[in-house]
Amino acid sequence: MDLSPTTLELALVALFAAVVNGAVGYGFSSIVTPIALFWTTNRVLNPALVAVELVVNVTLLYRERRYLATTKARARPVLVGLLPGVVLGSAGLVLLSATGVRIFVYALILPLTVLQLLGYRREIRREHRAGPVLGAIVGFLYALTTISGPPLALFWRNQGLSREEFRCAMAQIRVAEASLTAAAYAMLGLYTTSSAVLVPSLLLPVLVGVPLGTVLLQRFSKDFFSRLVMAVDGVIVTYGLYSVLVTEGYLSPFEGLVFVAVGISAVVLLAAVVIRRLPALLAKTERRRLERPIEPTASGPPPGS
């Protein structure tokens, strides 16, 4: 493998992202994509990421297979909506300019990062009706940007799933979206040599990072770990948006520096406040969970427990 600076840096970023993915069940592409776009374009990066994410999420789904019986009925409505979204997103990747897609990626991730950092929670009571709509949106976003973890996490985190059920539901949807997107990319001829050479520097760190993330989660609070990661991601995305806006002439260098200084300061201050208040937030969430009545559709214990 060619260990050029770009390849080595991409491998290090992929290792960090794989640790996060192994720990919290998502986050690989939402970390790799905004950083890798400093060096390449979505049209080259996406096919490589989709191939690697298919391996990652099949592995995660196999690890949480005990919870398939209790989550598959709840994941099915989201799966139904994926196909039309994937078709539209794949077409957008071909038709839109590389700069347009890059700006869309950064503008999408930043508010989602802030919502996760704040710990936004709102239970969706008509889950089966919301599922197909979410599936279409997620399919479009994933095919265009390879990012779907943040909106999926915001949805499932509010629905009363256990940690293992959450990861199982996420893995089911992400295996389906990656499979459909890989097929769409193949039909559109997006798999090229430029994409193929990125696969080793993404796949090898995954083989190490995902198991390491599983071990790491046993030593740290999931909420603390995921919000700390979101704070770092927010800083990266703010810089990425600044970079592309200045490069394309939408902002002057001075305006760009003001933008990035304000953005990063806001993210850092928000992270400090949230992490300081995290114990109280977790206690409040746990009280609400315990007070919620158990519904017939709620997940039960895993088979054999």
Q: Give the pLDDT confidence score for residue 125 in this predicted structure.
A: 76
Q: Which two tokens stand for residue 108?
A: 């999408």
Q: How far apart are CA 72 and CA 75, in angstroms?
A: 5
Q: Give the pLDDT confidence score for residue 260 in this predicted structure.
A: 59
Positions in the chain whose pLDDT score sits under 70 = 1-6, 25, 116-123, 217-236, 239, 242, 247-248, 250-305
Q: How far apart are CA 109 and CA 115, in angstroms?
A: 10
Q: Give the pLDDT confidence score for residue 4 in this predicted structure.
A: 45
Q: How far apart are CA 244 and CA 5, in angstroms?
A: 21
Q: Give the pLDDT confidence score for residue 284 in this predicted structure.
A: 53
Q: Which two tokens stand for residue 234?
A: 């927010």
Listed by start position, the domains of the chain span 5-215
Q: Give the pLDDT confidence score for residue 230 in this predicted structure.
A: 66
Kindly report, residue by residue over 224-281, the tens digit of the pLDDT: 656 666 666 666 677 677 677 776 676 666 665 665 566 666 656 555 555 565 555 5
Mean pLDDT computed over every residue of the chain:
77
Q: Give the pLDDT confidence score for residue 139 in this predicted structure.
A: 93
Residue 57 three-state SS? helix
Q: Give the pLDDT confidence score for residue 301 in this predicted structure.
A: 46
Q: Give the pLDDT confidence score for residue 18 in this predicted structure.
A: 84
Q: Which two tokens stand for residue 102?
A: 């890059």
Helices (H), 37-162: 42-63, 68-80, 82-95, 98-118, 127-145, 149-156
161 CB contacts (<8 Å, ≥6 apart)?
A: 71, 169, 299
Q: Give the pLDDT confidence score for residue 49 in this predicted structure.
A: 92
Q: Give the pLDDT confidence score for residue 304 in this predicted structure.
A: 43
Q: Give the pLDDT confidence score for residue 78 in this predicted structure.
A: 92
